[in-house]
Chain A
Amino acid sequence: NAGVTQTPKFRVLKTGQSMTLLCAQDMNHEYMYWYRQDPGMGLRLIHYSVGEGTTAKGEVPDGYNVSRLKKQNFLLGLESAAPSQTSVYFCASSTSNYGYTFGSGTRLTVV
């Protein structure tokens, strides 16, 4: 089925460890996004991309890096994980102002 696929779905990290979250979409969408969702705070934009090879900072970019080497993939990296990065991470893609398609999320716990 067409859509947005996130891997992994769950992960537990120790403080200071690094990891990469992968987002893949097969809808040929230009725009891709990474959000984090925390209780009572809704979704906050971390980074986004308006096309292959481009990235831009969102509302809460500190502690994260991203890359969009291929149009269909958008990677989110944590170089040195901190407990404050415990969250549910969502990737989304879109072609215009007409709504996102979301992945099913990655639940990350940093201990």
Chain B
Amino acid sequence: AQSVTQLGSHVSVSEGALVLLRCNYSSSVPPYLFWYVQYPNQGLQLLLKYTSAATLVKGINGFEAEFKKSETSFHLTKPSAHMSDAAEYFCAVSFTGNQFYFGTGTSLTVIP
């Protein structure tokens, strides 16, 4: 069965510091991988997606993620955190296209 694990339910970084949010997947075949962001009292917005093209994927708001098959990982990074990046981030995986499996989320706090 495929699943996705997000390491760290809460991450705090200082403004201007590197953001690193971790995601590992469990699947016998590389799936499609996604990162979503959720701001308070809002729905989820797509940040970026991996669909078997380039392994380094660039998304919106300066975020990027690298697909590493050997590590079954798809970690999300941003070189310099902004206050506006404070939100909940979800990693998601899909293989069939009919069902997406979401991680439990990582809450990012940015300290001024």
Contact = CB atoms under 8 A, between A and B. Distances in A.
Interface of A: 4, 31, 33, 35, 40-45, 48, 50, 56, 58, 90, 92, 94, 96-105
Nearest to B104: A42
Given A48-B99, A96-B97, A98-B49, A41 B44 contact: no
B45 A43 contact: no
A31 B43 contact: no
Interface residues of B, number: 22
Contacts of B90: 42-43
B44 A100 contact: yes
Interface string B99-112: 11011110000000
B105 A97 contact: no
Given A99-B34, A102-B45, 13 more contacts: A4-B43, A35-B102, A40-B104, A41-B104, A42-B90, A42-B102, A43-B90, A43-B102, A90-B43, A92-B44, A96-B97, A100-B100, A105-B41
Contact of B44 (A50, A97, A98, A102): A102
A102 B43 contact: yes
Main secondary structure of the interface of A (DSSP, over half): strand
Contact of A31 (B32, B98, B104): B98
B46 interface: yes
B103 A42 contact: yes
A41 B6 CA distance: 11
Q: Which of A35, A98, A103 has the most CB of B within 10 A?
A: A98
14 contacts: A4-B43, A31-B98, A42-B90, A42-B105, A45-B99, A90-B43, A96-B97, A98-B49, A98-B51, A100-B44, A100-B100, A102-B44, A102-B45, A105-B41
Contacts of A43: 44, 90, 102
Identify the 5 closest CB pairs spanning chains A and B, nearest first: A102-B43, A42-B104, A43-B102, A97-B97, A97-B32
